[in-house]
């Protein structure tokens, strides 16, 4: 079953069209990467999913139901949790409150406050601290933990490696693979070749707001992948 599909989507900010006839899909349990340089429209894909753009043509299909006007909350309530670029930590809430906010959709599943604290013990130690008092890597843990609290079928990650040390990126890769093995689909929007190679099975390349290539990552060399990102 397709959890998320963009079907010939044109998406705009005001009068400016950013996505042009974009189509892709992510099925249950898949790990898919969306690649591309800065400014090609990768984050606009996430913003469109989260209702931040106007869809002028095509539709976004969530669990095989088509939508052209998405309220912000629709994806989360349909089992698609998003980790935003910049992490979106609420600075006036404690770490625990940030996590509890992730559970607002009320979906049942394996992830609870205890399970997230088990995955990221540092968050339990600092549960009463404010969210922005954490390091970059810890903030990313908080953002991922908060997304998991929604017990999603699909986890959308927008540039999760941005600003993180390589050792932390390695830990993230292990975590995403573990989540994938447990059945959570992953959509990774990234430029970090190492992370893409370790996590994703399929890829789409975005350029100037259009999908220009797609395929399997199996057997693809680092150089080939870098060439795709540099397009």
Partner 1 sequence: MLIQVLNGVVYGGLLYLLAVGLVLIFGLREIVNFAHGALFMLGSYIGFSIAAIFDFWLGLAGAIVAMTLVGLCLDAGVLRPLRKHDHMVTVLVTFGILLVLETFATAVWGKAFRSMQPPELLSGTVELFGEPFPVYRLFVIAVSLCVAGGLTVWLRHSRIGLYVRASSVDPTTTGILGVDTDRLSLLVVGLGTGLAGMSGVIAAPLMALSPTMGNFILIESFIVVVVGGLGSFSGAFIAALLIGQIHNMGAVYLPWASTLLPFLLMVCVLIWRPTGIAGGKG
The span from the CA of 211 to the CA of 225, in Å, is: 15
Q: Is 60 in the site for partner 1 (CB under 8 A)?
A: no
The residue within the footprint of partner 1, chosen from 145, 146, 176, 228 (CB under 8 A), is: 146
Q: How many CB atoms lie within 10 A of CB 8?
A: 11
Give the integer Cα–Cα distance in Å for 88 and 140.
10
State yes or no: residue 162 binds partner 1 (CB under 8 A): no
Q: Which of 55, 75, 189, 196 binds partner 1 (CB under 8 A)?
A: 75
Q: Which of 57, 93, 122, 231 binds partner 1 (CB under 8 A)?
A: 93
Options 16-24, 102-110, 178-186, 198-206: segment touching partner 1 (CB under 8 A): 102-110
Smallest gap from residue 216 Cβ to partner 1 (A): 30
Question: Site for partner 1 (CB under 8 A): how many residues?
Answer: 24
DSSP letter at 132 equals G
Q: How far is the CB of 145 from partner 1 (least distance, A)?
A: 12
- Integer distance in angstroms from the first to the last C-alpha of the chain? 31
For residue 104, state whether it binds partner 1 (rule: CB under 8 A).
yes
80: closest CA among 56, 53, 51, 59? Answer: 51
Min separation Cβ 30 and partner 1, Å: 22
| β-sheet bridge partners, residue 81 | 155
Is 92 among the residues that bind partner 1 (CB under 8 A)?
Answer: yes
Residue 3 binds partner 1, judged by CB under 8 A: no
Task: Give the range of 50-58, 161-169, 197-205, 222-230 binding partner 1 by CB under 8 A.
Answer: 50-58
Residues sharing a CB contact under 8 Å with residue 127, sequence separation 6 or more, in sequence order: 94, 95, 96, 117
> CA-to-CA distance for 60 and 67, rounded, in angstroms?
5
DSSP 148-200: HTT--SEEEEESTTTT--HHHHHHHHHHHHHHHHTT-EEEEEE--HHHHHHH-
User: In the set 12, 28, 105, 119, which binds partner 1 (CB under 8 A)?
Assistant: 105
For the record, the structure tokens of 223 come out as 């150089």
Q: What is the nearest approach in angstroms of partner 1 to the Cβ of residue 203? A: 24
CB 58 within 8 A of CB 6: yes
Coil vs helix vs strand at 17:
strand
> Based on CB atoms, which residue is closest to partner 1, 72 or 108?
72
Candidate list 73, 166, 174, 215; residue touching partner 1; CB under 8 A: 73
Residue 125 Cβ vs partner 1, minimum distance, rounded to whole Å: 21
Residues in touch with partner 1 (CB under 8 A): 50-52, 71-73, 75-77, 82, 84, 88, 90-93, 97, 100-102, 104-105, 146, 150
């Amino acid at each position: 079953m397709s959890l998320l599909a963009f079907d010939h989507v044109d998406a705009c900010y005001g009068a400016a069209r950013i996505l042009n006839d974009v189509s892709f899909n992510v099925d249950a349990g898949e790990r898919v990467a969306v690649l591309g340089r800065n400014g090609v429209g990768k984050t606009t894909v996430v913003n469109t999913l989260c209702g931040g753009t106007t869809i002028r043509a095509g539709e976004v299909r969530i669990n095989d139901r088509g939508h052209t006007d998405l309220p912000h909350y629709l994806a989360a309530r349909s089992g698609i949790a998003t980790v935003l670029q910049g992490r979106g930590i609420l600075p006036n809430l404690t770490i625990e409150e940030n996590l509890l906010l992730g559970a607002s959709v009320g979906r049942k599943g394996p992830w609870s406050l205890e399970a997230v604290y088990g995955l990221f013990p540092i968050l339990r130690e600092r549960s009463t601290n404010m969210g922005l008092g954490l390091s970059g890597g810890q903030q990313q843990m908080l953002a991922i933990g908060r997304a998991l609290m929604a017990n999603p079928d699909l986890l959308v990650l927008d540039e999760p490696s941005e600003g993180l040390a390589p050792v932390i990126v390695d830990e993230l890769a292990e975590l995403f693979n573990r989540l994938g093995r447990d059945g959570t689909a992953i959509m990774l929007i990234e430029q970090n070749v190492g992370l893409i190679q370790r996590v994703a099975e399929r890829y789409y390349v975005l350029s100037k707001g259009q999908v220009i290539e797609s395929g399997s990552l199996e057997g693809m060399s680092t150089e080939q992948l870098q060439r795709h990102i540099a397009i």
